[in-house]
Amino acid sequence: MKTARTVSAVCALGLMIGCGSTADVPETESAGSETITIAFANDITTMDQSMATDSASFDMLSLCMSGLTQYDADGEVAGDLAETWDISEDGLTWTFHLREGIKYSDGTPITADDFVYSWRRLADPETGSEYAYILDSLHIVNADAVYLGEAPVEDLGVEAADEKTFVVHLSLPCAFLGSYVSTAMLAPLNEAFVESKGDNYAMTIDDMLYSGVYKMTGWVTGSEYTFTHNENYWDAENYPQETMVIRILQDEQASSMEYLSGNLDVIPLSGELAETYSSDPGYTVNTTAATWWIMPNMNDPIASNLNLRKAIAYSIDRATICENVLKTGAIEADGVVAAGLANGPDGRDYREAAGDMTSYDPETAAEYYALAVEELGGHPSIELIYDNTDELTRVAENMQAEIQKACEGITITLRPMPKKSRIEFMLGNDFQMCLCRWAPDYADPQSYIDFFTSTSSMNGGRYTNEVYDDLAYKAAKGEDAADDEKRWNDFIEAERILVSEDYGAIPVYQEGTVYLVSPDTEGYLVLTLGTGRLRHMTKAAE
């Protein structure tokens, strides 16, 4: 049977925000006898590691781009391109010692300067990365000043002491840095190569250099992506798998038939199909740290009405959505911060300490709706945009029915669209309400709280509250940052303001995912957080 381990891989996973464009690219190569084929519900948005923020892109990037560290086949943090690392006594200086002989897929040496360039490129406001803020969350010296354009990229707290020594300087200790640098977002980039490609970088398989286990050898937008063995990867001899094919398939029924026929090795399932295949030997359930919520556009004259947002929040039957609509191990979202993410200084899970911040109460919803109608001068109409998957359509339809039932007279219009389009609408602040997902970057509430600050590039709904911003700042890098108890309390109060006072986010559910993973494979990692679930997969030994 397959090897499936549950680990907490603290690594970048975004959900929902991304950019990049598609281009004409070579056809995929034909798969060999040792091929693992995997179904994805969503297409990538980009293969530019500095621009990616969605899970599909990061899943594919994690195959072909390696970081300083990795989550190994046992789910433990281990060296990857860095063989060892040292941490200063005060926790403010991390020194990574790169392996000898590490190379890109074309044989070009990988050096410490490549990490310096990659991290500076991410932070550079001219790059326009939606994830630039993460370097500040990691407490990299001057990260905020750099990505806000207030300081040159050369001021970012990273340096190459020599070709094999990469040094990171922090303004505050960051316990999770060693695991976070496993993300492909922080993988090395060869400056000469990237700059020579200009706007074409990462637009085709020939416009990238690969530092990971695989190299990308086939790219058919919206259809299929092929990855083959990277013979120049430092540990190539321990990765015998030659070909991995990712197919974009949104029809779960069709995917399940392909799985049963032996044409797919990993597929996601939801709803009735998840129940149907619960006895399959490859059935794998994982409740993740990703949460889904409705994001209201605070610049929209209707969605910005507080009583309307309250009415919608109380109209959502979260238990029914999880138990009867999704059936994937999802649980009700009691806030935007996931349950099971991290424990506070008192040893309790954050969600337990923060308490429930959502409630299903149709009568209360009707009362707030009556106030909203009076303030708005009539019954409003709201358009909800969301990714056009079967699963999210079922969720959206359930919410539509419940909201219209509790708030008699309201019109909820559903507008499904490709994920990339939904992201563009959201980032452009061109929507009324949006069903969004966020998977934390690391096991700490800060990953969620940072999302909603007024300066966050992720804050597509333009939520703004000065008290919230102040609490987020104090906990992240202000006066409370070094005090675990005060920091925790700041997060709880900020979340309460966001969810229970301003209704700047309306939590719906915490994600669960059901996969069928073929018993003919080994090494699939079930991750609580992060990506890298596919890179250790091989065909099972006979």
Phi, psi of 314 (to 5 degrees): -75, -10
Q: Which amino acid is at 541?
A: A
Q: pLDDT value at position 474?
A: 95
63-76 pLDDT per residue, tens: 999 999 998 888 78
Across the chain, mean pLDDT equals 90
Answer for the pair 267, 258: CB distance below 8 angstroms, yes or no: yes
Across residues 240-250, what is the average pLDDT? 89
Answer for the pair 504, 306: CB distance below 8 angstroms, yes or no: no
Q: pLDDT value at position 374?
A: 98
Q: How far is CA 29 from CA 44, 182, 326, 403, 431, in A?
A: 19, 28, 36, 48, 40
Q: Of 87-101, 219-233, 261-275, 361-375, where does mean pLDDT reach its minimum? A: 261-275
Q: Up-side HSE of residue 189: CA atoms within 13 Å toward CB?
A: 26
According to the 3-state scheme, what is the secondary structure of 436-460?
A: EEECCCCCCCHHHHHHHCCCCCCCC
Pairwise CA distance, residues 535 & 65, whole Å: 10
Q: Which CATH class is domain 288-512?
A: alpha beta
Across residues 144-169, what is the average pLDDT? 97
pLDDT for residue 152 is more than 70: yes
Helix, strand, or coil here: 331? strand
Closest listed residue to residue 287, CA positions, set 529, 12, 531, 3: 529
Across residues 457-482, what is the average pLDDT? 92
Element (H, E) at 7: strand 4-7
125-137 pLDDT per residue, tens: 999 998 898 898 8
Q: Where are the domains positioned within the chain? A: 4-248+518-539, 288-512
Pairwise CA distance, residues 455 & 137, whole Å: 13
Answer for the pair 515, 268: CB distance below 8 angstroms, yes or no: yes
pTM surpassing 0.85?
no
Q: Where are the alpha helices (H) located in 316-436, listed in sequence order?
A: 318-320, 350-354, 362-376, 390-406, 419-427
What is the DSSP secondary structure assignment for residue 200, as one 8-state letter?
Answer: G
Domain 4-248+518-539, architecture per CATH: 3-Layer(aba) Sandwich (3.40)
Pairwise CA distance, residues 352 & 332, whole Å: 13
